[in-house]
Structure 1
């Protein structure tokens, strides 16, 4: 079932025009700005496969994921970026302690009203989120909400969902 949802949501995202994606990303940026403060460490992601693009704010220090191996990632404050293992731009720079992160923005393919998500299926984010005490925010288009994600013991619940329509506590 999760694989079917992944396939359906990827297709739906890819059907959006570039203009629709840019407009949705701008809306998300406006909502996100209301949550940020100057002294925060914000973990984000680099948009991939028609994900909502997170436009870095002037507020806070930003860091991004770098894949370490088949199961783990770290967050890096970037000096630069390079193409990584899955074709996603990854940062080159200094690693940060997961416990120092204030907000982590999490990409997803689907989410439910309980705050669980369906990602790409490798578990990188769920393993990393277990190390964080950060506010965990899933970033999604409105159409990515589903009735159930069938979470299991390894899945980490999100605190908020951020969509172009607003911020929802879950």
Structure 2
């Protein structure tokens, strides 16, 4: 099965998860993240602001702020398909951007150098146990992760783990996967 078919199928599958099940799953994922040493050691967390049927990231951002961690969110640079991260200290510093994604208000935030980000929470739709992921399309995170030197993790329902899909040379795996069942280190190749 190709990436586009898998992406479409996973979107349909995720859409079928009921509200109660979704909240329960998110709470378990978040608990597994918050009790991990990855989270404990991180001072600056990079994360997207979830929209629609994505796993909720607002609770993660609020927890980070409550613990005194810094949070940065991406601004998409469409010409180069790059991501620039900006520190936010309030949800008031966010606006709708490209494809209705929630992005930082650049004039009200500080751009963060990639080396400042200790923990990058990477979104995705389907994942292998090796940490490879199918995102929402565009390759923005693969470009970003190519030169990112710190810890990477993705949040997913265990049903989003698939045996395999075509891996391309530009695909960049994450190091850890957090599901409702626990935290696992990606198996590598």
- Alignment TM-score > 0.5, same fold: yes
Q: Report Cα offsets for 1:60-86 as digits up to 9, x if no partner.
A: 111111112241111111251111101
* Long gaps (5+) in structure 2: none
Q: 1:39 Cα deviation (Å)?
A: 5.8
Query: Stretches of 4+ moved more than 4 A in 1?
Result: none
| Aligned equivalent of 2:72 | 63
- Do 2:152 and 2:175's aligned partners in 1 also have CA atoms closer than 8 Å? yes
Question: Normalising to structure 1: TM-score of the pair?
Answer: 0.93
Count residues in correspondence: 170
Q: Determine if the alignment matches structure 1 residue 3 to structure 2 residue 19.
A: no
1:1-150 to 2 correspondences below 5 Å: 1-35=2-36, 36-37=39-40, 40-54=43-57, 55=59, 56=61, 57=63, 58-59=66-67, 60-70=69-79, 71-78=81-88, 79=90, 80-92=93-105, 93-150=109-166
Larger deviation: 148-157 or 98-107?
148-157
Which of the pair has more CA radius of gyration? Answer: 2
Q: 1:138 Cα deviation (Å)?
A: 1.5
Q: 1:139 Cα deviation (Å)?
A: 1.4
Select the structure that is richer in helix. 2
Question: Normalising to structure 2: TM-score of the pair?
Answer: 0.84
Q: 1:97 Cα deviation (Å)?
A: 0.6
**CA RMSD across the alignment:** 1.5
Question: What is the alpha-carbon distance in structure 1 between the residues aligned to residue 24 and residue 99 of structure 2?
Answer: 26
Question: What is the alpha-carbon distance in structure 2 between the residues aligned to residue 97 and residue 61 of structure 1?
Answer: 13
Q: 1:47 Cα deviation (Å)?
A: 1.4
Select the structure that is richer in strand. 1
